[in-house]
Structure 1
Amino acid sequence: MSSKELPAALALAAEDFARYLRSERGRSAHTVRAYLSDVGSLLGYAASEGVEDLPGLELGILRRWLGAQSEAGLSRATLGRRSATARAFTAWAVREERIEADPALRLKAPKREKSLPGVLHQGQVLRLVEGAESAAAEGGLLPLRDRAMVELLYATGVRVGELAGLDIDDLDPDRRTLRVIGKGNKERTVPYGLPAALAVDDWLRRGRPALATEASGPALFLGARGKRVDQRQVRSVVHALLEALGDTSATGPHALRHSAATHLLDGGADLRAVQEILGHSSLATTQIYTHVSVDRLRKSYLQAHPRA
């Protein structure tokens, strides 16, 4: 319902609110358009319930408005934005003395859905590391590094910043473990497998010595000029390998972290063990991966079971 179709008092309120938004500094034109679209939707719904002026805008109407949109399939993120718009609008109306009490004070925004970047299937990971291996086999020093970085990212689930910050002494080749300094300067020990061990050993024997300079220090992974590799370089390497797959929406190193966690749980790993490996301070953060695993299980069931 456009402002021209609204009852006169509601249309006037919408126009005044629009002027208020445009007068505020720091609000982009896109944000203003989104706010006005949401307010138009709210007032249109209120009008459909017989509301003709702002004092008739009650909490129940706000809740039913959001409920109707939820039933229409709007995402939680959009519903959260619209509830925030409603609170901003009613707070403005109170300040302008258009209404006495704010009906949105008890309006709760729906919890945002937790989402992950594209999680790779195990077959995709295999193709990814095979791509890195092929590049390393063709020669050059940096492809040896790139292969080792990708193998470690997937093997350990470390964050890109943690990988870039690794020193040679953080490796324990005999036990195949890695000492990682994570968020909050917390230290943890993470195991890694044989493929990662072989790739890292190859880099340390054939790649790193040829690039190392006085500026290298103890850094495990180096850039072309011998300095410690930075996060941007790691992201660029992983992005190129993911792009070469051609069948994933994943774009960076975090996708390998998410994939490692998901595959660990798919394989029967204990949730608290995965929490320790990832360095999560809260188990709730790790539990998102159980949802991913269950979703995959459900899809497999629906595709395979004759009476699904």
Structure 2
Amino acid sequence: MEELRQYLDFLRVQRNLSPATLDAYERDLTHFLDFVWEQLELLDRPQKLQEVDKYLVREYLAYLAREGYARSSVARRLASIRGFSRFLFSKGYAQRDFALPVGTPKQPKTVPEILTMDEIRGFLAASMPGRTEALRARNKAIFEVLYATGIRLSELVGLNVDDLDTNHQYLRVLGKGRKERIVPLGEYALASLHTYCQRYRGQLLRGKDSPALFLNSAGERISPRGVQYVLGQCCEALAMHKHITPHTFRHTFATHLLDNGADLRSIQELLGHSSLSTTQVYTKVTRSHLKSVYNRAHPRA
């Protein structure tokens, strides 16, 4: 569809969105438009963008709910539709901003899963999985960096060797919206990175030329799925009962900083959040942790 292609081009040029984010927008909006065209056909109405209205958007959201989509997924789809709707109206492709009157579904208040200090120490001290010593060293460095910096999985796999400055002890990270930020590294992460880069990264390269910091066994940039697979192996080996994802390290990083006196503004900068309200979710984690400690320790809790 030409209008959709124009919108995706707009997002790529004006919003500087990553290819993965653009693919997600395209999937969401293609699914929505397929639903809308089917509904318009059933209603014996022309399959045109001018026919799309708030009632069709609400019917689509109701359909997603019936299909068992999580509220967060429904809200994300609506956000995609709203942006598309605004674009169509501004360009004259639609007679109205059809998604504007549609309210966002209320989201359940959830507290992110985190690892305790004992759990994260045990995880990082454990023997890493991997067929070779080089892969085990790489895996050690990956999880030390995730916990030391709180960076996203997409940011981790996008790191290049040139993004690592061992002299000043920081990483240069390219975050959402292609925004660059500087993240400090602790001594444990630096030590694991030094071992990996100096002794083992060259073995994984297999004579290839790649700028990627973290490589797979074929000498190519490791994928998000590759990191998730290794994490699954670690959790299985350690018999961890929590649902641990790469993002759990991000939540754990922020919560442990807050527990140890870091201010929210600093944590916001380190995480690359554009809004402080996004960072404030970690205050709920800390309150939850304090309540559990109180319940365990207070004689009349």
TM bracket (short chain) = 0.5 to 0.7
Q: Give, in whole Å, the separation in 2 of the partners of 1:116 and 1:215.
A: 43
Segments of 5+ residues of structure 1 without an aligned counterpart are 1-19, 25-30, 36-75, 82-105
Q: Which position in structure 2 is the counterpart of 1:6?
A: none
For 1:281 and 1:254, how far apart are their aligned partners in 2?
A: 18
TM-score (norm: length of structure 2): 0.64
Counterpart position of 1:129 = 124
Preserved CA contact (<8 Å) 1:120 1:255: yes
The residue correspondences of 1:5-16 to structure 2 (distance < 5 A) are none
Residue 141 of structure 1 aligns to a residue in which SS? helix
The alignment status of 1:166 with 2:166, answered yes or no, reads no
Distance 2:263 2:138 in 1: 31
Corresponding residue for 1:223?
Answer: 216
CA RMSD of aligned residues (A): 3.1
In structure 2, C-alpha distance between the alignment counterparts of 1:215 and 1:286, rounded to whole Å? 40
C-alpha distance in structure 2 between counterparts of 1:154 and 1:197, whole Å? 12
SS in 1 for 2:284: helix
The answer (yes or no) to whether the contact 1:120–1:250 under 8 Å persists in 2 is no
Partner of 1:176 in structure 2?
Answer: 169
CA distance in 1, matches of 2:208, 2:109: 41
1:230-249 paired onto structure 2 within 5 Å: 230-249=223-242
2:110 is the counterpart of 1:115: yes
In structure 1, what is the Cα distance between the partners aligned to 2:125 and 2:152? 22
- 2: CA distance between counterparts of 1:250 and 1:145? 23
Between structure 1 and structure 2, the one with the greater Rg is 1
CA deviations on 1:159-193 (whole Å, 9 max, x unpaired) are: 11111010111111122111000000000011111
Establish whether residue 269 from structure 1 lines up as the match of residue 243 from structure 2: no
Match of 1:63 in 2: none
1:257 equivalent to 2:250? Answer yes
In structure 1, how many angstroms separate the alpha carbons of the residues matched to 2:238 and 2:111? 19
Taking a change above 3 Å as real, the CA distance of residues 216 and 161 of structure 1, as seen in their structure-2 partners, is farther
Offset of 1:205 from its aligned partner?
Answer: 1.1
Of the three residues 294, 297, 300, the one matched with 1:301 is 294
CA-to-aligned-CA distance 1:59-88 (integer Å, 9 cap, x gap): xxxxxxxxxxxxxxxxx96xx99xxxxxxx
Preserved CA contact (<8 Å) 1:173 1:197:
yes
Q: Is the 8 A contact 1:117 1:250 kept in 2?
A: no
Native 8 Å contact 1:132 1:146 kept in 2: no
Distance 1:127 1:170 in 2: 28
> Pairwise mapping of residues 137-156 of structure 1 onto structure 2 (< 5 A)?
140-156=133-149
Q: Is 1:208 the equivalent of 2:201?
A: yes
Q: CA deviation at 1:302?
A: 1.7
Question: How far apart, CA to CA, are the structure 2 residues paired with 1:232 and 1:198?
Answer: 25
The Cα offsets for residues 195-248 of structure 1, whole Å up to 9 and x where unpaired, read as 111100000111101121464421111111111111111111122212333243
Cα displacement (A) at 1:144: 0.6
SS of 1:119's partner is: coil
Deviation track 1:63-118 (CA, whole Å, cap 9, x = no partner) reads xxxxxxxxxxxxx96xx99xxxxxxxxxxxxxxxxxxxxxxxx9x88832243552
Query: Unpaired runs of 5+ in structure 2?
Result: 1-38, 44-61, 76-100
> Percent identity between the aligned chains?
42
Contact 2:235 2:244 in 1 (8 A): yes
Match of 2:282 among 273, 278, 289: 289
Rounded Cα–Cα distance in structure 1 between residues aligned with 2:111 and 2:196:
31
- The one of the two structures with greater contact order (alpha-carbon pairs below 8 A, sep at least 6) is 2
Deviations 1:12-31 (A, max 9, x none): xxxxxxxx9xx99xxxxxx9
SS in structure 2 at match of 1:189? strand
Distance 1:173 1:184, change over 3 A: same
- Residue by residue, what CA displacement relative to the aligned partner does 1:133-168 show, whole Å, maximum 9, x if unpaired? 5x58x9621111000001000100111111101011
Q: For residues 5-46 of structure 1, give each alpha carbon's deviation from its aligned partner in whole angstroms, at most 9, with x where no partner exists.
A: xxxxxxxxxxxxxxx9xx99xxxxxx98x86xxxxxxxxxxx
Q: 1:217 to 1:122 in 2, by over 3 A?
A: same
Distance 1:208 1:110, change over 3 A: closer
